[in-house]
A and B are shown apart, each in its own frame.
Chain A
Amino acid sequence: MDNKEDFSQFRRQSQKGILVIYINILYKALKAFWFLLFLFIQKFSKIPEGKLVYIYIGVAALLLFFLIRAFLIFKNFQFKIANNHFILKKGILKKTNTSIPFDRIQNINFKQNIIQQIIDVHEVNIETAGSSKAEISIKALSYKEASALKQAITVLDNNSVATPSIETAEKPLLKVGFSALIKVSLTENHLQSLLLLFAVLVGFFQQINDLFDRLGKQDVLDNYITKNTSSLESNVLLIVGFLILLSVIAVLSSLVRVVLRHFNLTVYVKNSALEIYQGLITKKSVILKKDKVQHITISHNPIKKKLGISFITFKQAISGKVKKKQDKVIKIVGCKVIQVSAIKDLLFPDKNFDDLAQNFSDSYFRVRLYLRCVFILIIINMGLYLGLGNSSIFWINSLLIPIFIAATELSFKKRYYLFNTDVLIVGSGTIETHKTYLPFFKVQNVELKQTLFQAQKNVADIVFQTASGKIKIPCIHVEKAKQIYNYTLFKIETSQKLWM
């Protein structure tokens, strides 16, 4: 790649960026005011002809205003590279000048939503771990510019690497084809997908409810719902049908979710980083630097285990105020055993975990899990009784209690920890099985927790706070907990490696 792009002078994005920004503004405006638009369309016929012209003019003026705004945003958005800093000037009225030193840059990601795909530009996101305001998004660069920019930043970052031409080994570590992706999505946690869909729908429903509230048609909607629910109660067949429909929806929603997010998932190993490309409508490319990964979790469920596939979640450092924590969690699906061990080798070289025995939590942990179940059961029973006022509802316990017992036993059995000199491994899960790998030196601080009951049993929880969340080993013997506590501190304090 000939690196002819010159970043030493201030420069703007690609011209096409105006379109991207424009559509982005329009999308935001639509999202905020869609119900106004809805109202408007509903009353469209009632508006007299004469006044319609004004509305057209108003809309046109608004669109023009957005266009000018987009142009000004484009005009004022300038960036350059100087003295190992990425410098950005932006703002129409309120000018901001951001400067980020290269060693603070955590990731440089490329992204393409559908519009950016059509006009063939890439969005470049520069992620930092420190202050949350320094998250930079350049909306439109040509591929050549984008990769030149990435190279300029990453090359200067590792001064030791003189020639970045190690692009010969272009064989992907992992490539998930469409059929494999279908397999992955069919074995997803469908209940979770359903809940996610449900959450989206509830949000949507509330918005509609608000709308009807404003229109004063609340009664109509309520009547409609009550009429339907009452017939629901009387008809068992309908309930069964509803359940089947629900499960079909669940499977479909996980199918859609997985395909949208992980379409054409390809992972390369380059230098000591993972390059991940995925997505259908929004294409994303992420570079995961080895040092920036805080901990990883390898997970599978019983069906996935049968098929020999698992998914890996990479957790990177997040800053306290970032709302979109999801962005810092990178997930790759459909990994075979070989690929899992390849990634493990990359992140934790020369480590052998096989001959380590698993240490389990004290049996007090089981007691605690059961207590928690009893508590949840009481709440469910109370809620159902108060809600429906029918004592036959208590029969639901005959179904719930076995489920709860099974879940508790499973999660107790799957809780274990083991460690060698550098890495701690924590197992967890109920139906799914998770295995988290945490290098000791990535821990930010440690906490030992003990309730009075735990003190009587001489057990304690140990909590490792990392830059990307907490990892907990519940209810282990105090002596062991203290040993681990001291050892972790020793590892952190003597570590010469940077945690990111």
Chain B
Amino acid sequence: MTDSFQNISVTSFPDITEIEFRAIDKKYLKVLLINVFLVFLVVFPVLFFADKKGFFELSRNSIWIYLALFLVFIAVLSIKTIGFKKRKYAIREKDVSYKNGIFFRSLTTVPFNRIQHIEIDQGPISRFFGLASLSVFTAGDSSDDLKISGLLKEDAQQIKEFISNKIDG
């Protein structure tokens, strides 16, 4: 590799991998699991009625469908539980980072001086646990910006203050 990047001593750049990432609040796992439960709570009756009406045309083997759904349910629960530990965020002096995922790992960093606005929102279940999620928007196609879910409400508020001050200052 002969690009000029090599000419600059790499050690002089702050390394994203060396900073300490913080885990999100443990209570958020409950929120995630409750959400999964709620989805399956809707899917099960739908499946049940579909089966009763003979929608699948395999009246004798319908047990397999329930079994498959149950397996999916277990799989989703365990993936959420394992993946939960991977959800981490970090805030440096000039940027905010978030990483997550087990099968599809991703690490995103948004520099403060590119942030357009910040949002804090709370779903009904999150509110019950006193949690909030912090979304950071940059210009352009804002679908892929950074969102940290499962922060304590106060923490989220604090981070928002911190970033807002940085942007204005």
Using a Cβ–Cβ cut-off of 8 Å, how many residues does chain A contribute to the interface with B?
43
- Distance between Cα atoms of A317 and B141 in the complex (Å): 9
Closest to B116 in A: A130
Q: Which of B2-10, B68-76, B124-132, B153-161 contacts A (4 or more CB under 8 A)?
A: B2-10
Contact call A445/B145, Cβ cutoff below 8 A: yes
Q: Report the stretch among B29-37, B52-60, B107-115 that lies at the interface.
A: B107-115
Q: Cβ of A409: which chain B residues have Cβ within 8 Å of it?
A: none
Q: Which of A397-446 contact B (CB under 8 A)?
A: 418-421, 443-446
Please give the distance in Å from B8's CB to the nearest CB on chain A.
8
Q: Which of B12-20, B38-46, B77-85 contacts A (4 or more CB under 8 A)?
A: B12-20
Q: Which residues of A contact B140 (CB under 8 A)?
A: 317-320, 444, 465-469
A486 lies within 8 A of B110 (CB): no
From known contacts A420-B3, A489-B109, infer whether A467 and B139 are also in contact, taking CB-CB under 8 Å.
yes
Main secondary structure, interface of B, reads mixed
Distance between Cα atoms of A492 and B118 in the complex (Å): 19
CB of A420, distance to nearest CB on chain B (Å): 5
Contact (Cβ within 8 A) A455 B15: no
Q: Complex Cα distance A137/B109, Å?
A: 37
Considering the chains assembled together, what is the distance between the CA atoms of A180 and B109 in angstroms? Answer: 46
| A485 / chain B contacts, CB cutoff of 8 Å | 16, 107, 109
Contact among B105, B139, B141 for A455, CB-based, below 8 A: B105
Q: Would you give the shortest CB distance from B96 to chain A, in whole angstroms?
A: 9
Establish whether residues A487 and B113, one from each chain, have CB atoms under 8 Å apart when the complex forms.
Answer: no
Does B94 lie at the interface of the complex (its beta carbon under 8 Å from any beta carbon of A)? yes
Is the pair A359, B3 in contact by a Cβ cutoff of 8 Å?
A: yes
A350 at the interface (CB under 8 A from B): no
- Say whether A486 contacts B15, CB under 8 Å: yes
Are A486 and B13 interface neighbours, CB within 8 A? yes
Cα separation A484 to B163 with both chains bound (whole Å): 25
Q: Is the CB of A451 within 8 A of B110?
A: no
Given the complex, which residues of A lie within 8 Å of B104, measured CB to CB?
449-451
List residues of chain A with CB within 8 A of the CB of B15.
Answer: 482, 486
Contact A493 B94, beta carbon cutoff 8 Å: yes
Contact partner of B105 among A418, A420, A450, CB < 8 A?
A450
For A450, the closest partner residue in chain B by CB is: B105
CB pairs A–B below 8 angstroms (27 shown): A320-B140, A320-B141, A356-B3, A357-B2, A418-B3, A419-B5, A421-B5, A443-B114, A444-B138, A446-B109, A447-B106, A447-B107, A449-B107, A450-B105, A451-B105, A465-B144, A465-B145, A467-B138, A467-B140, A480-B1, A489-B14, A489-B95, A489-B111, A492-B111, A492-B114, A493-B95, A499-B139
B interface residues (Cβ-Cβ under 8 A, vs A)? 1-5, 8, 10, 13-17, 94-95, 102-114, 138-146
Q: 3 smallest A-B Cβ distances: which pairs?
A: A467-B140, A320-B142, A444-B138
